[in-house]
Amino acid sequence: MSTESTDPVEPPAAVAPAPEEAGTDESPKKNWLKFVIVGLLAVVLVGGGVWALTSLGGVKVGDCVSASPKDVDKPDGEWNISSQGCGDTAATHRVAALLDNAEDQCPAEGIYEQMQADGGKSMCLMPNLAEGNCYTSSDDGAFKKEACTTESPVKIVKKVDGLPEEGSVCPEGSSELRFSEPASVYCMGVHEGS
C-alpha cells in the first residue's frame, strides 16, 4: 500500500521580506564604506586636476606668466615659469599658443619663446606688453615693465588688434612689433616725460 497522498500539493507560501526599520540610521559599516568611497573619489578627482594643471603649467592661451631661464647663459635650457596676473609687474610673458607636439613651431611673425611642457606639448610665450606702459629689456631678453621716465628705452604708444597693412597704424616716430598669434601690432616709441 502506498502512503502517498492524492491531495494536490500546494506550493509553499512566498515569504515576504521583513519590513525595513523606519528611520535614517545606517549601520556603521555602511557609513564607513561611504566615507572610503567618497575619499577615494576625491583623491582621484583632485589628483587628475593636479595632473591637468601641471601638464601645461596650469595655463591657457591669454594667461600671463613670469618666465625666465634657470640659467641666463643657457636661454634654450630649462625655464622657471609661474602664473601671474597680467597687470602684475612680474608677468613678463603672455601665453600666445599651446602646441600639441614639441616638434611644432611657434608662429614666425613675432617674438616668441617656445617652452616645453609635460606630455610632449609646448607653449609659445610672447612679451606681456600693454599700451601706455614703459619697458626695459633685461639680461635674459624679457621685457620688464618699469615706471615711465625720460630715461625709459621703450614705451608702447599704441596697440592694435589684428594685422593691418604694415606701416599703416603706428604714429610717426614709432616702430611696429607685429604678432601673428594673437594677431596684434604694438607701436613702440619713446616716453616723452612731462
pLDDT tens column, 24-81: 555 554 443 343 333 333 333 333 222 233 334 577 899 999 887 787 777 666 778 8
- At 69 the pLDDT is 76
∠ at Cα 131 (127, 134), nearest 5°?
A: 70
pTM, two decimals, is 0.63
Residues 162, 183: contact at Cβ < 8 Å? Answer: yes
How far separated are the first and last CA of the chain, in Å rounded? 130
Give yes or no for residue 18 having a pLDDT over 90: no
Secondary structure of residue 142 in the 3-state scheme: coil
> What is d(CA 115, CA 51) in angstroms, rounded to the nearest whole number?
18
- At 162 the pLDDT is 92
pLDDT in tens, 102-161: 788 999 889 998 887 666 778 899 999 999 999 888 766 678 888 888 888 899 999 999
**178: pLDDT confidence band, cut at 50, 70 and 90?**
very high
